[in-house]
Amino acid sequence: MKSKLEVCIDSISGLEACINGKADRIELCSSLELGGLTPSDELMKLASEVNIPCRVMIRPKKGSFEYSSGDLHQMFDDIDKARSYNFDGVVFGATLLNGELDQEFLGQLIRYSDGIKKTLHRAVDTIPKTIEAVEIAINLGFDTILSSGGYETVMEGLAVLKEMQQRASGRIEIMPGSGINPQNISEILSDCHFAWLHSSCSIHRQNRKITDSQTIKEIKTAINV
């Protein structure tokens, strides 16, 4: 089975690029320059009208992935909004001060988002035991882990991602993300199959990064070679 491409976007132009480039799934955010925050109601509404599966980032603030009880209730509200638009799923993560995943907090979010799919995002790359997080994510009820293997980019963390995939053993999707482009697809998939790949598919234009439909097409072509 050929791998599929999820594209993270934070704008209407990004949504249009995903349509034109035929992305397989969207990760809907705001503020990608901050690593992605919860998208606006307006962007959710527009994305809900597009015939592409979509998972919504649930992240109420920039910075660390340590959250308060107030943050938890804000995230509940944001999950409600995502559910109201019948999106494919939600994306979230949380950590403790000691650098471990906050399993109690994540468990509450998992239970609240019952009935929709759930991705554990790159908070997993900030903890010291990225590989061990696979079992934790499975036990909590996630169906996907988005990760760079604990490194800045997928290419640096590829060995870890392959080990995570072996540990997952089909029980959860390991989705590499960070720095994926048309040139490195073949190396990423050369000796380990990942069902999903994640990329911003962005280019620099007028001193800012924008989602590029041609890059989406080129990555999909590289996947299918």
CATH number at residue 26: 3.20.20.380
Calculate the average pLDDT of the chain.
Answer: 96
pLDDT at 1 over 90: no
Give the number of domains in the chain. Answer: 1
Domain that holds residue 95: 4-223
pTM, rounded to two decimals: 0.96
Cα(132)–Cα(10) distance, integer angstroms = 31
Q: Which residues contact 126 (CB under 8 A, 6 or more apart)?
A: 65, 95, 99
Kindly indicate the confidence band of residue 44, based on its pLDDT and cuts at 50, 70 and 90. Answer: very high
Contact 209, 32 (CB under 8 A): yes
Tell me the mean pLDDT in the region 31-44. Answer: 96
pLDDT at 117 over 90: yes
pLDDT at 127 over 90: yes
Cα(44)–Cα(110) distance, integer angstroms = 21
For position 55, what pLDDT does the model report? 98
For position 58, what pLDDT does the model report? 98
For position 206, what pLDDT does the model report? 78
pLDDT at 181 over 90: yes
For position 208, what pLDDT does the model report? 85
